[in-house]
Structures are given as C-alpha cells and as structure tokens.
Amino acid sequence: MNDITKPIPADTAIREENELEAVAAAVAQPDLKDPRLVLSLLEADQVVAAKRRTHFGQRNLAVGVRVLLWGLRAYVVMMLVIVVISALRAMHALH
C-alpha cells in the first residue's frame, strides 16, 4: 500500500479531529476585544459611521493644566510678534 491509501490509526484520526475542532472554534469565535480585529471585520462605510458617532467633547482639566495651556498660548503669540518685528527690521535694513 502507498501512503495515500494506508489506513490512519484511530487515535491519530481522533487527535486530528480534535485539533480541527479547536481550530474551527477559534475561527468561529474571534477575540472582539482587539480593536484592530474589529476594524478589519467592518466595512469602510461602517467604520466611517462609527467614527462620526463618536464624540468625546471637552475634558474637565485641572486649574493648573488650564493655566499652563493659557501660558503656552500667550508664549506662542509673543513669539509670533517677535518674529514679525524681526522680519520687518531685517527688511527695513536692506533698503
């Protein structure tokens, strides 16, 4: 007998069947806790619709964080003014 027609021992057949059932169970029950897997299962329009529904709104920040953010905003504005003045002086010096 060749390898193709040789009968398979019963315990090997049962073991292979159990492995196939385990693989089939894993495929039938995907881990939906993984967001990458969920996104891969959705179609493009479903992803867009889900993203449109998600709106986080404003966060309630602590007073110190708000002061820091306003300080950074003021710093950026002051630096822009300094850059504009420097650029104007540099252009005026060229004349």
pLDDT digits (tens, 9 = 90+) for 26-81: 566 666 777 777 777 777 787 777 777 777 778 899 999 999 999 999 999 999 99
pLDDT at 2: 53
Residue 4 pLDDT class (50, 70, 90 cuts)? low
Quick: pLDDT tens for 7-36.
656 666 677 777 767 666 656 666 677 777
Q: For residues 14 and 11, what is the distance between their CA atoms, to the nearest angstrom?
A: 5
